Structures are given as C-alpha cells and as structure tokens.
Amino acid sequence: MSSDPRVFNFLKERIGLDVASVGEAIIERAVRQRSQAVQAQTADEYWQQLQRSHDEQQALIEAVIVPETWFFRYPESFATLARLAKARLAEIKQMRALRILSLPCSTGEEPYSIAMALLDAGLAPHQFKVLGLDVSPLSVERARRGVYGKNSFRGADIEFRDRHFNESADGFHISERVREQVRLQVGNLLDPTLLANEASYDFVFCRNLLIYFDQPTQKQVFDVLKGLTHEDGVLFIGPAEGSLLGRHGMKSIGVPQSFAFSRHVEPVKPEPVFAPIPAPPPLRSAAALPVKPRPFSTFSAQVVPIKAPPSDAADLLSQIATLANEGKSAEARAACERYLSNHPPAAQVFYWLGLLSDVAGSALEAQGFYRKALYLEPQHPQALMHLAALLESQGDSAGARRLQARAARSERADSESKR
C-alpha cells in the first residue's frame, strides 16, 4: 500500500510524530499491517476505517510506536536523581512528598527505575511518589502488570533485580514495595489539558521523545514540559536532546551523563569516586597523519597499530555499544579509539564517537564525527537522524530536512528490499 499523506497528517496531529524522524517506510509497514488486520483492500478503505474507529486509531498508533527501553537506562541519571532528591527534601524541610513524572513511561521500566533508585538511596516510601504517563494504553497496561523478560535487564550491574523482583515462570515480577510508589495512566503530551489541575513536579523525565517532533511541535511540547516542571525542578532528557533545551533557555546542571537540565543552575558536583578510574586515551587530533593514510583515521603517526584478528572487530563494536548505552562515555570513547587503532575505519565507530561528543555538549566535534560516519556509509540511519537533529538545533532547517529526506529514502529502500 503506497504512502498516504492523510495517515502522516493524522499521526502528526494525534501524537506529534514527524514522519521524517522515523522514515515513511516504518509508517507504511504499520499501515499495511493494520490494513490486513481490518481487511481493507485500498488506501481509501483503510482511511475510512481509521476515521470511523477510535480503536483502530489507537491500534495504528500502537503499530507505529515500538518501545525500546530497559531498567536503569543511562545509570548516571538515576544516581544524580537520588542526590538531588535528598537535597530537595532538605530544601522543602520534608513538608511534602517529592513529585516525580515519567513520560512517555512506555512499559514501565523508567518509572520503576526511579522508584528503585530512590528507595535504594534511603528515601522512605512516604517521601516521594512517581507518576508514569504514556500515549499507549497497551504499554500502560503492560507497565501495570509489572512482569518483565530478560531484555529489560541490560548491562553488567543488575543486582537490583535480586532486591526488587520476584522470578517466576512467566518472568520477573516487580515487588509490591516498588509498585506502590508508582501511579500509571494514559496521557498525551499534545493534550492542552494534560495534568492541568495537578501541582508541578520536582523532577520530570522525558527522554528520547523530542527528536521525533518537528521544530514547532518541539516548542509546543517543551512549553508543556516547562509548565509541568517546578520552578526549581530538574528535567531529565535524552542524550541527543540537550541542544534543543539549550535553545529554550534551560542549562545543564553540570553532571556528566546525567542529561539533567534546570532553569536556574548551580552546578552539581558528582560524588567522589572511591576507586580511581584510569583516564582513557585522549582523542587525537583529526589533523594528525596515520602511518598509512586512510580517510578519517583518528590515530596519530606516532601510534603503531596493534595487530588483531578480524573477529575482534565485532566483539569490540558490541562492547562500544554496551558501554555507550550504559552511560559509560569515557570507557566507550576509549574502546572506539582502540578499534580505530586496530581496524580500518568503520561508520558505526564514528557514529558512536559523534553521539558521545553530542552527549558531552561538543556540538562541533559531534558534527564532524557524524559526517565521517556518513562519508564511509552515506545512508547510515542513526548518523543521519542525529546529524539532522544537530543541524536543526543550530538553525540549519534546510540541511536538517535534506538529511531527514535521505534517511526516509534509505528506510523505504531497505523496507522494499526485504519484501
């Protein structure tokens, strides 16, 4: 079934989705699935079904939204939350419970991670409450069920699972102690009445959502988030969204890998690390010449590459992804350097370096790495998406649109090749 702009416009109006951010092919695939499910033979037939049925509207949204989340994603955010929560309780003299919001909460991993982090930090149950919101009733229902498979537990440190879950044949059940701290409900950030009668929140988590909106919708959603966040509160966002908040007057609180922003910033110093961590090798100058010139090689002429078996490349790429997803930027960056010292340049490695630089607030460096990834792999989807977001944040809307169009064409071609 061919592209139908009516469906694109429907998704834009209902959930703010910018088709260029995910690619037309993903939406077309969802429409084909739903058309088969309701036995619609043509685009017009499906459109009529969509117009008539609220259930079908929600089913299409569910088909487009693919949750990708796990417990304690970006661990430093939760460690920072625990420190800030204690300070906030002291500021308000413990006169009320802290209010924390997670949206979109997806299938519950984030709001439950918030509750576990605060309980493990020593906060009593009466000192905080968490609200999780999501546009998907199906996701909210799964979150309420509170049963998770192994894919929800990633990274090396999963000791929290022993403390807060009960294992059974159908998966890991969240404990009642954690469940009681979290309230879950369906809600849409584009709804102007969302939480209209609620008090503001001390901490708001809204991660990896703004990148799927166009610039006007980003501004609209940011205004809603700002209204939901207390004047002295903190907003936690995704790694690629910091520049978007910066454009709207919010500033990082200064804790690396926390992705935390506030209106009034008094830099928060991380707690001292008791076991010193060796510093990773510094990024070498892009101008330094390698022993054998190759495009975008980042090791310097003085470095002698270490021979490594080809199979090591895949293992190292997997290690880079794991470290980056766990928020261990220094270790991930060092692993990227090791890869480039031992193997030919790879687009995925430069993409990770770009994302790590983006997270650290080095926009110019990030832009360079993303472009190196695209030189080696012109249709690299993540590099296209993140570079587009970066250009958009810098005011280069035309450049961002060109990259988004490239990503959409690539996604469409990939989808067609798999039919």
Q: Are residues 204 and 146 in the same domain?
A: yes
CATH assignment of the domain containing 371: 1.25.40.10
Name the 3-class secondary structure at 143: helix
Question: Is the same domain home to 372 and 320?
Answer: yes
Is residue 41 located within the same domain as residue 112?
A: no
Structure confidence by residue, pLDDT tens digits, 280-319: 444 443 343 333 333 333 333 333 343 444 458 888 888 8
Instruction: Give the model confidence (pLDDT) of 45-68 as tens digits.
Output: 999 999 999 889 888 888 887 667
Q: How far apart are the first and last CA of the chain?
A: 12
* 59 lies in the same domain as 189: no
pLDDT for res 302:
35
**Rounded mean pLDDT, 11-29:** 80
Output the CA–CA distances (angstroms, integers) from residue 303 to 91, 292, 336, 349, in the order listed: 52, 11, 15, 19
The pTM score is 0.63
Q: Are residues 101 and 230 in the same domain?
A: yes
Q: Are 404 and 19 in contact (CB under 8 A)?
A: no
Mean pLDDT for 204-231 is 86
Sheet strands (E) in 122-257:
128-134, 147-148, 165-168, 171-174, 182-186, 201-205, 229-236, 251-252
Instruction: Give 111-149 pLDDT, tens digit per residue.
Output: 999 999 999 999 999 999 999 999 889 899 999 999 999
DSSP β-bridge partners for residue 203: 100, 234
In a domain, 250, yes or no: yes
pLDDT at 230: 93
- Do both 34 and 88 map to the same domain? no
The Cα–Cα gap between 93 and 88 comes to 8
Q: Number of folded domains in the chain?
A: 3
Is residue 274 assigned to a domain?
no
Which range in 79-88, 134-143, 345-354 is most confidently predicted, on average pLDDT?
79-88
Residues 221 and 107 in one domain: yes
Q: Which residue has the higher pLDDT, 409 or 339?
A: 339
Residue 2 has pLDDT above 80, yes or no: no
C-alpha–C-alpha distance, residues 86 and 124, integer Å = 11
Residues 219 and 337 both lie in one domain: no
Name the more confident of 174 and 306.
Answer: 174
Full domain range(s) for residue 158: 75-262
pLDDT tens profile 175-191: 999 999 999 999 988 88
